[in-house]
Amino acid sequence: MKFRIYTYVLFLMLALMFAVMPVMAHEAHHGGGAMTAKGQGILKGIDTEASTVTLSHEPIPELRWPAMEMDLSLRDAELASGFEAGDAVRFTLEQVGETDYEIIELQSLD
Q: Is 67 in the site for Cu ion (CB under 5 A)?
A: no
Among 37, 63, 70, 96, binds Cu ion (CB under 5 A): 70
Nearer to Cu ion, 20 or 68 (CB): 68
Measure the CA dihedral 19/25/28/32, to 10°.
Answer: -40
Among 68, 85, 88, 109, binds Cu ion (CB under 5 A): 68
Distance CA 96, CA 40 (A): 19
Nearer to Cu ion, 56 or 81 (CB): 56
> Of the candidates 62, 57, 46, 50, which has an alpha carbon nearest to the alpha carbon of residue 90?
57
CB of 35 to Cu ion, least distance (A): 16
Q: Check if the beta carbon of residue 71 is closer than 8 Å to that of residue 53.
A: yes
Residue, CB closest to Cu ion: 70
Binding site for Cu ion (CB under 5 A): 65, 68, 70
